[in-house]
């Protein structure tokens, strides 16, 4: 078959809603953009553990500490699923880590903000994981089999993350005046970075049209962002939190909560490495990746020894 025929067959498969598997023929641009997005998604999961781990030793109760530890462990597991799914394109995990540590690969801007107090842990679980659920539920329909299947497992765990965060915020909003103020302050600091997780407007998005043509994305950045706003504003009002947007208003016709323009200068500054914690996050990742080299070396040595033993017993 000519390349044109192969492409036509591939596009027919996508149109028919078939899953593309690692050994199937696919256009280079398809695998290239999937690897870009999946590796960045994996990096985001791993870097995302840093802001939360800051509060494990300061959790207000043993129950809170156990829940936070479970969430952080989940995020590490999400990173592993996604690195494994990205490795189906033949890239080595070490190469993906090198791309992250040298700035060649991105991770979600939201993790470059500091966690100043316990309410931030609530806001992250409720808003950041809440936004991730909206995006990842869509990605579970992705045409690439390994990514779609990783999302199904991840979304189940995100549900727990979002609910535990909302529980923290709800509890604080029934607490003392100081606790209410702390929760509202965290809402004010995390609301806009959570909206930025969905990426630029569709009109400015360089990847959306191709990603939607090949059903990597089945819904656009703006559509998902609006779904998140509609769902979360109601949740905020239910526990007495104010959404930090003076222009927020409900449109009865569209049934959407209309909101102000995102500060795109801030968005691109953080994406380009100039957010409050970008340097801290990367320095931390590099330090502990290097300190953990002995674990990887020991695992590889053990694997080699096992293979050697199997060879001699065959
Ligand atoms: N942070 C960092 N970079 C971002 C970004 C953000 N919030 N939004 C967009 N970008 C980047 C894109 O990566 C792309 O840059 P690149 O070409 O160098 O990769 C550029 O901005 C243009 O954006 P596009 O919208 O054209 O790019 P995409 O089509 O890839 O859409 C996306 C951006 C919606 C973030 C998409 O990449 C995506 O769905 N990624 C997977 C999901 C993900 O990463 N979720 C967030 C973090 S994971 C998480 O929250 C874990 C939870 O458990 C806490």
**More reliable by pLDDT, 314 or 162:** 162
pLDDT at 314 over 80: no
* 110-122: average pLDDT: 98
Please return the burial class of 3, using the count of CB atoms within 10 Å of its CB with bins 0-12, 13-18 and 19+: exposed
pLDDT at 183 over 90: yes
Tokens at 107, concatenated: 């991770």
Q: Report the alpha-carbon distance of residue 258 to residue 270 in Å, rounded.
A: 25
**Atom in ligand 1 nearest the alpha carbon of residue 139:** 39
pLDDT at 234 over 90: yes
Average pLDDT, the chain: 97
Query: Which residue's CA is the nearest one to ligand 1's atom 51?
Result: 45
Q: Which residues sit with their C-beta closer than 6 Å to ligand 1?
A: 36-37, 40-41, 44-45, 48, 75, 78, 106, 108-109, 128-129, 132, 135, 158, 196-200, 205-208, 211, 221, 271
Q: 270: how many CB neighbours lie within 10 A of its CB? A: 21
What DSSP designation does 56 have?
Answer: S
* 39-57: average pLDDT: 97
Residues found in the chain: 314
Percent of residues, the chain, with pLDDT higher than 90:
97
Q: 159: how many CB neighbours lie within 10 A of its CB? A: 13
* 297-309: average pLDDT: 95
**pLDDT of 78-97, one tens digit each?**
999 999 999 999 999 999 99
**pLDDT band (50, 70, 90) for residue 312:** confident
Taking the centre of ligand 1 as the mean of its atom positions, its distance from the CA of residue 133, in whole angstroms, is: 14
**Atom in ligand 1 nearest the alpha carbon of residue 36:** 19
Query: Which residue's CA is the nearest one to ligand 1's atom 50?
Result: 132
Q: Which of 207, 214, 215 to mutate to test the pocket of ligand 1 (most atoms within 8 A of CB)?
A: 207
pLDDT of the residue at 195? 98
pTM: 0.96
**pLDDT band (50, 70, 90) for residue 279:** very high
Taking the centre of ligand 1 as the mean of its atom positions, its distance from the CA of residue 108, in whole angstroms, is: 6
Nearest partner of 262 among 216, 308, 197, 196, judged by Cα: 196
């Amino acid at each position: 078959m000519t390349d044109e025929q192969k492409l036509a067959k591939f596009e027919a498969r996508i149109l028919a809603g078939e899953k593309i598997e690692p050994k199937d023929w696919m256009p280079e641009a398809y695998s290239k953009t999937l690897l870009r997005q999946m590796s960045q998604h994996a990096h985001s999961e791993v870097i995302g553990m840093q802001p939360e781990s800051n509060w494990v030793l300061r959790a207000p109760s043993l129950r809170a500490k156990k829940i936070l530890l479970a969430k952080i462990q989940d995020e590490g597991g999400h990173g592993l699923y996604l690195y494994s799914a990205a490795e189906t394109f033949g890239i080595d995990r070490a190469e993906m880590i090198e791309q992250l540590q040298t700035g060649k690969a991105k991770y979600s801007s939201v993790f470059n903000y500091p966690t100043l107090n316990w309410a931030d842990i609530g806001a992250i679980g409720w808003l950041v994981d809440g936004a991730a659920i909206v995006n990842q539920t869509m990605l579970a329909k992705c045409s690439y089999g390994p990514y779609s299947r990783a999302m199904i497992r991840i979304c189940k765990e995100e549900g727990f993350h979002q609910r535990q965060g909302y529980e923290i915020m709800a509890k604080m909003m029934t607490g003392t005046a100081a606790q209410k103020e702390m929760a509202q302050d965290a809402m004010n600091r995390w609301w806009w970075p959570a909206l930025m997780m969905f990426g630029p407007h569709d009109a400015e998005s360089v990847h959306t049209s191709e990603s939607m043509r090949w059903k990597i994305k089945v819904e656009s950045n703006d559509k998902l962002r609006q779904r998140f706003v509609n769902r979360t504003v109601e949740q905020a009002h239910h526990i007495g939190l104010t959404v930090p947007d003076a222009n927020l208003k409900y449109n009865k016709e569209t049934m959407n909560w209309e909101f102000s323009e995102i500060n795109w200068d801030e968005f691109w500054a953080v994406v380009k490495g100039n957010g409050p914690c970008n340097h801290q996050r990367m320095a931390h990742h590099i330090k502990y990746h290097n300190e953990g080299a002995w674990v990887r070396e020991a695992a590889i040595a053990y694997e080699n020894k096992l293979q050697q033993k199997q060879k001699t017993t065959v």
